Structure 1
Amino acid sequence: MVSTVRTVLGEVPADRLGVVDAHDHLFIRSPQLPGKELDDVADAAARLAGFGALGGGTVVQWTPYGMGRRTAELPALSRTSGVHIIAATGLHQAAHYAGELLDAVRDRLAELFVGELTEGIGATGVRAGLIKVAGGFHGLDEHATLTMRAAAEAHHRTLAPIAVHLELGTGALDVLDLLCGELGVRPESVILGHLNRSPDFTVHRLAAEAGAFLAFDGPSRTNHGTDWRMPDALRALADAGFGDRLLLGGDTVTPDTPGMPYLLRRVRPRLELTLGKELVDQLLVANPARVYAW
Structure 2
Amino acid sequence: MSTVRTVLGDLRPEELGVCDAHDHLFLRSPQLPGLELDDVSAARAELAAFRAAGGGSVVQWTPYGMGRRTADLPGLSRATGVHLVCATGLHQAAHYAPESLDGLRGGLSELFVTELTEGIGTSGVRAGLIKVAGGFHALDAHARWTMTAAAEAHRATGAPIAVHLELGTGALDVLDLLCGELGVPGHRVVLGHLNRSPDPVVLREAAASGCWLAFDGPSRAHHATDWRMPEAVRALAEAGYGDRLLLGGDTVVAGARSVDGGPGMPYLLRRVRSRLTEAVGAGLVDRILMEHPGRAFAVDWK
Q: If the length of structure 1 is used for normalisation, what is the TM-score?
A: 0.98
Give me the whole-angstrom Cα distance separating, in 2, the residues matched to 1:64 and 1:217.
17
Q: 2:197–2:224: 8 Å Cα contact kept in structure 1? A: no
Give me the whole-angstrom Cα distance separating, in 2, the residues matched to 1:230 and 1:183.
30
Q: In the alignment, residue 237 of structure 2 is paired with which amino acid?
A: A
Question: Percent identity between the aligned chains?
Answer: 72
**Equivalent residue number for residue 260 of structure 2:** none
Q: 2:215–2:247: 8 Å Cα contact kept in structure 1? A: yes
Deviation at 1:106, TM superposition (A): 2.7
Give me the whole-angstrom Cα distance separating, in 1, the residues matched to 2:204 and 2:185.
18
Q: Structure 2 residue aligned with 1:262, among 256, 267, 292?
A: 267
**Equivalent residue number for residue 117 of structure 1:** 116
Deviations 1:17-76 (A, max 9, x none): 000000000000100000000000010001100111111111001000000000000000
Instruction: Describe how 1:192-211 pairs up with structure 2 within 5 A.
Output: 192-211=191-210
Give me the whole-angstrom Cα distance separating, in 2, the residues matched to 1:12 and 1:242.
26
Q: In the alignment, residue 279 of structure 1 is paired with which amino acid?
A: L
Q: In the alignment, residue 272 of structure 2 is paired with which amino acid?
A: V
Residue 151 of structure 2 corresponds to residue 146 of structure 1: no
Instruction: Describe how 1:118-267 pairs up with structure 2 within 5 A.
Output: 118-257=117-256, 258-267=263-272
Deviations 1:134-189 (A, max 9, x none): 00000100000000000000000000000000000000000000000000001100
Give me the whole-angstrom Cα distance separating, in 2, the residues matched to 1:226 and 1:193.
12
Q: Structure 2 residue aligned with 1:272, among 274, 277, 295?
A: 277
Give me the whole-angstrom Cα distance separating, in 1, the residues matched to 2:275 and 2:223.
19
Residue 64 of structure 2 corresponds to residue 65 of structure 1: yes
Give me the whole-angstrom Cα distance separating, in 2, the residues matched to 1:281 and 1:36.
33
Q: Secondary structure at the match of 1:274?
A: helix
Deviations 1:99-147 (A, max 9, x none): 1111121321100000000000000000000000000000100000000
**Equivalent residue number for residue 288 of structure 1:** 293
Residue 52 of structure 2 corresponds to residue 47 of structure 1: no
Deviations 1:181-226 (A, max 9, x none): 0000011000000000001010000000011000000112122243
**Equivalent residue number for residue 102 of structure 1:** 101
Give me the whole-angstrom Cα distance separating, in 1, the residues matched to 2:99 and 2:266.
36
Give me the whole-angstrom Cα distance separating, in 2, the residues matched to 1:224 and 1:33.
18
Q: If the length of structure 2 is used for normalisation, what is the TM-score?
A: 0.96
Give me the whole-angstrom Cα distance separating, in 2, the residues matched to 1:120 and 1:142.
28
Q: CA RMSD in A?
A: 0.8
Give the paired residue count: 293
Q: In the alignment, residue 264 of structure 2 is paired with which amino acid?
A: G
Decide which moves more: 70-79 or 257-266: 257-266
Give me the whole-angstrom Cα distance separating, in 1, the residues matched to 2:105 and 2:164.
19
Q: Secondary structure at the match of 1:139?
A: coil
Q: Secondary structure at the match of 1:241?
A: coil
Q: 2:207–2:241: 8 Å Cα contact kept in structure 1? A: yes
Q: In the alignment, residue 144 of structure 2 is paired with which amino acid?
A: T
